[in-house]
Structure 1
């Protein structure tokens, strides 16, 4: 990888990080579940031994406790953002659904935020501003959390630029192209004065995110991301493309800038994906982009907990690295 100056996340070696969010398990047990004390809240976890990931035997209790342990590092990345949730009432082997509207039975301490819908219908999204909210939602069999590029209070003014790269197929050769594209886009954003952060999607590809000052509306941010894609697709015509139709892409990687549209979402850092093995969308250092064993599902829930026991979150204090997008846009043609 070329010069990584300006990249977020530092190096692989890092200080240790507590991951419990100041929370603990209550000593009390109920006949049908357990009770977790999370901050000032007590959360009853029902049916803790029910299996959520049938191929792996991962239970609801393990899922909830995973979110408890990562809450300290995850909550800063989702705080104040509308959550779109993938719920699986019978585990990922059964039928799941995507939920935006906060359920009526959610307790009043779970924040809601009303966001105008694209079709004119307002949606009251749940928000996880603290570890207890995250744990409560996991107990509702919420497996995967999606967030927008803009805070819920200002849904038309993003504070992140997002690029999503997925391979054309499941081959290692296709993922190598994804790896190249992520590096090239990261370097271009660096050149423009932005600070960039990298993570696995936990599913098929990689995400590159740059925190920005909330100065431009969502259409301007999306246009900037598209311009980046077009510029780099011109420079690397055999590697990447911005063609919307899959049939026109060939074996090139689509520079997906569409995540920057109004109310569009991306999976949150540290969220679990509804796939066998319980892979996690894991923040990486830029040094890790060149690891020979890197793939989109490299880190599972147990791996992430062990990882956070040895190193600091590579995305810690991400928001403090926000840069001016108008300044970056002015440099784009240079």
Structure 2
């Protein structure tokens, strides 16, 4: 049985709220819906106006999942969408999750983890985020934290870029650069790839740009592949489909010094205690957006010197 939920100007039915989604902890679909309603004010600034891919688990995390880009015909008209042409022909009608009601509605559709574009609806080919995904080859988060500090030294101190940090809620970290929308995806990706190659040259024993897992050995993979048109990253404060319901959580850089920190430190229960005791570390991210011009020039100079 369902119940009517009124959020802002919109009312809709939420259903099967007692269905187990995270069996080990006993978290239900209702817990997921309530989480997204409660986190919405913090989360919405990071997802508004960004095309969104839904990862849906109708029967919880131990059953089948599916990715959905197209907004179904039955979605209410008040949920915003953006139609985007596919390279192979045809179109995709992406959801834009621009208000609390939309976020809760998606949770009721068993969308555990929204993934978002790195660009916004009005200038789709000009990203305002660059992501380096630190993907460890082994279960050693200490290695991920050490790598993040080294990357901060290159990109932050030497290239002068503002860097923001987030646990993925899974195994690694995302390092995010907020950018002015002056360069297209191709230019941003080339810069990210070049920066990753430099890091690989500096730290060949611990970091790699090898996309194939059998080439990585035990090294941490510097994944810059998300910096492309149509690619997505996990949204800040998204729940991951893992036991414990961990949450992708923005961090302050000094939190890397905490020995207890892991990629899954925060979850749908303890994240609110965190946000009640400290400000959202990404709150002013957009105000820090930069052009890549000087960083590109500095990176080219470093390669010349080498």
Greater relative contact order, per chain length (Cα 8 Å cut-off, separation 6+): 1
Give the drift of 1:76. Answer: 0.2
Q: Distance in 1 between matches of 2:294 and 2:121?
A: 25
Deviations 1:164-218 (A, max 9, x none): 0111122x3xx22211222222232213222111011111111000100011110
Whole-Å separation in 2 of the counterparts to 1:283 and 1:269 = 7
Matches within 5 A, 1:1-334: 32-170=1-139, 172=140, 175-191=141-157, 192-332=159-299, 333-334=301-302
Unaligned runs of 5+ in 2: none
Instruction: Tell me the SS of whatever aligns to 1:301.
Output: coil
Change (3 A) 1:210 1:310: same
Distance 2:112 2:281 in 1: 23
> How far apart are 1:272 and its partner, in Å?
0.2
TM-score normalised by the chain length of structure 2: 0.94
Contact 1:163–1:256 (CA under 8 A) maintained in structure 2: yes
Displacement of 1:154:
1.9
CA contact (8 A) 1:115 1:155 kept: no
Q: What is the root-mean-square deviation in Å for CA atoms of aligned residues?
A: 1.3
| Runs of 4+ deviating beyond 4 Å | none
Taking structure 1 as the reference length, the TM-score comes to 0.87
Partners of 2:107 and 2:210 lie apart in 1 by 37
Deviation at 1:55, TM superposition (A): 1.8
Aligned partner of residue 259 in structure 1, secondary structure:
coil
Q: Secondary structure at the match of 1:35?
A: strand
Q: Distance in 1 between matches of 2:59 and 2:258?
A: 36
Structure 1, gaps ≥5 residues long: 1-31
